[in-house]
Amino acid sequence: MLIPCPHCGTRPVEEFTFLGDATPTRPATPDDPKWYSYVYERDNPRGRFDEFVHHSGGCRAWLVVSRDTKTHAVFSALTAADFKRKQKP
């Protein structure tokens, strides 16, 4: 599998560390009822999936990679910050 790192270009999968579902947002306050969901529940689709990926063997950027979990086709890779900006309406 190859990941198109926005900083480093296309790099092989072993340079990256995966952390899963990138869609939940960390609740702002300790008493928010969404905490359980944020920490434990995961979108786990068979198909297109936005996930946190760390370029741990490269530029050390946290990326959000959009990838198909059935075919492993990689659609895009953004820095986490860019992804957040795009997520906001």
Contacting residues toward other proteins, per CB under 8 A? 1-2, 12-14, 17-21, 26-32, 35-37, 39-46, 49, 51-52, 54, 56, 60-62, 67, 69-72, 74, 79-81, 84
Rounded to a whole number of angstroms, the minimum distance from the CB of residue 76 to other proteins is 15
φ and ψ at 83, to 5 degrees?
-60, -45
Rounded to a whole number of angstroms, the minimum distance from the CB of residue 88 to other proteins is 13
Show the tokens assigned to 68.
Answer: 């198909």
Rounded to a whole number of angstroms, the minimum distance from the CB of residue 56 to other proteins is 6
Q: Which residues of 38-66 are buried (b: 16+ CB within 10 A; e: fewer)?
A: eeeeeeeeeeebbbbbbbeebeebbbbbb
